[in-house]
Structure 1
Amino acid sequence: MSWQDYIDKQLIGSKNISQAAIAGHDGNVWAKSDGFNVSKEEIVRLMAGLGDPTQFHMNGVHVNGTRFVYLSGNDQVVRAKKDKMGLHCVKTNQAVIVATYNDPIQPQQAASTAEGLGDYLIQCGY
């Protein structure tokens, strides 16, 4: 399965994710959904925040040109929100999954889908 297939079939195809990207830890985007223009700089800042989330408390989480309010996270997961849109990011061994969802999708649905793919990629060595 290609990286784009993971985006199209596993994430967007689940109907639990509105837009998504998969990128390497270095910020290079491997695949993304149409219209989701997450930048290398945003990915690099996201990766840095996974190691030290205090910057998210002060500055929020920036993805696709949008500032999200940081809700919670740890060294592998970031949860954030802006109005009726949510953000769920999952770090794997080599990649990061960046996924947004819109109302009426519930945060738990998006989390389950994104983290499920993250777990699978970790099992595959990614």
Structure 2
Amino acid sequence: MSWQQYVDTYLIGSGKCTEGAILSAAGDGGVWAKSAGLQVTPEETGRLLRAFSDPSEAAASGIRVGGRKYMFLRSDGEAVYAKERDDGLVAMRTRTALVLALYSKGIVPGECATAVGRVADYLRQHGY
């Protein structure tokens, strides 16, 4: 299965995420796969990755993805959560990847987190 199929089937196809991506956790801006309309810059990826280990920057200035600013909610070292009104994002890091999903009004944030977690767990189990 290609990385794109994981985004299309397990993130977007779950009905619990409106957009998603699997990005490189190396901080090089690499995109393994993404939904069609989602644009994530290397700078946005870098800031999101830093929020896992030191959330102070994200707490002070928020998180941007696709040019849209989200209010940082929390990071537990394995996941980062942020929102903007009724929309939000969930990101989970593995050894080599960053699984990112956006959700919109009507989607329960915890259900989006579950979809992201399933992809992240699969990647971890397979050495990614």
* TM-score relative to the length of structure 2: 0.95
Aligned to 2:48: 46
Percent sequence identity over matched residues?
A: 38
Aligned to 1:17: 17
Asked whether the 8 Å contact 2:24–2:96 carries over to 1, the reply is yes
Counterpart amino acid of residue 3 in structure 1: W
- Segments of 5+ residues of structure 1 without an aligned counterpart are none
Residue 19 (structure 1) shift = 0.2
Alignment of 1:30 onto 2:13? no
Residue 84 (structure 1) shift = 1.2
Residue 54 (structure 1) shift = 0.8
Aligned to 2:71: 69
Counterpart amino acid of residue 112 in structure 1: T
Residue 82 (structure 1) shift = 0.2
- Segments of 5+ residues of structure 2 without an aligned counterpart are none
Aligned to 1:99: 101
- Superposed CA RMSD: 0.8
**SS across alignment from 1:105:** coil
* TM-score relative to the length of structure 1: 0.96
Residue 41 (structure 1) shift = 1.2
Matched positions, count = 126
Asked whether the 8 Å contact 2:47–2:58 carries over to 1, the reply is no
**SS across alignment from 1:30:** strand
Asked whether the 8 Å contact 2:51–2:75 carries over to 1, the reply is no
| CA–CA distance in structure 2, aligned partners of residues 76 and 102 of structure 1 | 22
